[in-house]
Amino acid sequence: DAGVIQSPRHEVTEMGQEVTLRCKPISGHDYLFWYRQTMMRGLELLIYFNNNVPIDDSGMPEDRFSAKMPNASFSTLKIQPSEPRDSAVYFCASRPTDLNTEAFFGQGTRLTVV
Amino acid sequence: AQSVAQPEDQVNVAEGNPLTVKCTYSVSGNPYLFWYVQYPNRGLQFLLKYITGDNLVKGSYGFEAEFNKSQTSFHLKKPSALVSDSALYFCAVRWEPGGFKTIFGAGTRLFVKA
């Protein structure tokens, strides 16, 4: 398996534009997580899905952020409109149902909003 | 509230010396504890985990960690540090009952000097 795949690896956009980050979890993993990493706040859990259903979105910072998982092999995190303070590295992770198993992380998307 | 603390922003150690990266947690319920490592411009890589059983857990690259329930700690250790161990280390916790939500500490940057 190729692991968790995120795209793009880097994204530079202008303030006010819509940004869509993409994630392909590991096949067979029932849980998918979106995290945001910044120097100030560290690694924050934004939202997670189980079997494509959002379970906890309490970490989503504002209504400008939305996430979807239309099927078991694809998820998106959208920011509309984007702001400079959204600049961060966004990670997607997936794991199976087995509680004893760790999460596997993608390489991340570095977002810069100018 | 559930939390993970890594009290040191940075740890400096000479190559060949033992290293310790500290982690304490506070959760209501049974903890599942993890250590991840992040190299520059990379995603998080799993190192080791404590689920149940032996309090001393051995993981990748010669790392180990000791679960101490009374002190609610899970410190990461290595008997002899390598320059290549220099990276950002994250402690994480999941808890039962608590679902599948995993929270991360702020991270500790390890510098190993030759």
Q: What is the pLDDT of residues A24-82, one digit of tens each?
A: 999 999 999 999 999 888 899 999 999 999 999 999 988 999 999 999 999 999 999 99
Distance from A43 to chain B by nearest Cα, in Å? 6
In this complex, do A91 and B43 lie within 8 Å of one another by their Cβ atoms?
Answer: yes
CB < 8 Å from B in window 59-88 of A: none
Interchain contact B99–A (C-beta under 8 A): yes
pLDDT at B95: 85
Task: Report how far residue B101's alpha carbon sits from residue B14's, in angstroms, rounded to the nearest whole number.
Answer: 36
Q: What is the pLDDT of residues B21-79, one digit of tens each?
A: 999 999 988 899 999 999 988 889 999 999 988 899 999 999 999 999 999 999 999 99
Distance from B43 to chain A by nearest Cα, in Å? 4
Interchain contact B94–A (C-beta under 8 A): yes
Distance from A48 to chain B by nearest Cα, in Å? 8
Distance from A16 to chain B by nearest Cα, in Å? 26
DSSP B100: T
Amino acid identity of residue A60, one-letter, is: M
Interchain contact B8–A (C-beta under 8 A): no
Q: What is the pLDDT of residues A81-101, one digit of tens each?
A: 999 999 999 999 999 988 788
Residue A43 has its nearest CB partner, among B42, B101, B104, at: B104
Which chain B residues have a beta carbon less than 8 Å from that of A33?
Answer: 102
How sure is the predictor about B98, in pLDDT bands with cuts at 50, 70 and 90?
low
Both tokens of B55, joined, read: 């309090």
